[in-house]
């Protein structure tokens, strides 16, 4: 989906996605989730994303506090309060697999509509020190 298409869809849906800020703050103690984030999460879910895609989370509250403190310390004025990781992605371009090689997955699953080419989506998360916690080599 192009940024322009996303912005258009958000303009249409945003009035229906507004939340009661006071109610949200009272129930969670946090700022409400913005309509933009709601739409991004919904599109991610509808495109096949799942909570099962998360392979490792912070093991304890104390570990989470340390990670959040690291991000707060490197940010300007502590604006990265509550951050536990930075996520980025990259499309590893590939030659489109044959129907036989793709099997039940199908060749269409390898096509990126955004980049208009076949590829494998690679995503990673690093900590405040640009390390990939829990990473292992492929040996």
Going by the DSSP 8-state scheme, the letter that residue 107 receives in this structure is G
Strand order in the sheet with 117-126: 86-93, 117-126, 111-112
Residues of the chain with pLDDT under 70: 24, 27-29, 50-58, 133-139
Handedness of CA 135, 72, 38, 33 (dihedral sign): positive
pLDDT of residue 139: 46
Domain limits of the chain? 1-52
pLDDT of residue 89: 83
Rounded Cα gap, residues 92 and 122, in angstroms = 7
The number of beta carbons lying within 10 Å of the beta carbon of residue 42 is 13
- Pairing label, strands 86-93, 111-112: unpaired
Q: Tokens standing for 28?
A: 């969670």
Rounded Cα gap, residues 41 and 48, in angstroms = 11
Reduced to 3 states (helix: H, G, I; strand: E, B; else coil), residue 124 is: strand
pLDDT of residue 79: 76
pLDDT of residue 13: 93
Kindly provide the b/e burial profile for residues 43-69, where b requires at least 16 CB atoms within 10 angstroms of the residue's own CB: eeeeeeeeeeeeeeeeeeeeeeeebbe
């Amino acid at each position: 989906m192009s940024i322009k298409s996303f912005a258009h869809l958000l303009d249409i849906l945003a009035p229906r996605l507004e939340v009661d800020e006071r109610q949200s703050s009272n129930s969670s103690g946090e700022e409400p989730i913005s309509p933009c984030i709601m739409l991004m999460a919904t599109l991610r879910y509808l495109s096949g994303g799942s909570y099962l895609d998360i392979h490792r989370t912070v093991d304890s509250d104390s570990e989470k506090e340390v990670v959040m403190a690291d991000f707060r310390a490197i940010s300007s004025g502590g604006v990265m309060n509550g951050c536990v990781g930075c996520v980025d992605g990259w499309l590893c371009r590939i030659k489109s697999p044959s129907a036989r090689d793709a099997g039940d997955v199908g060749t269409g699953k390898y096509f990126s509509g955004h980049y208009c080419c076949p590829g494998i989506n690679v995503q990673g998360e690093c900590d405040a020190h640009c390390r990939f916690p829990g990473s292992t080599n492929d040996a």
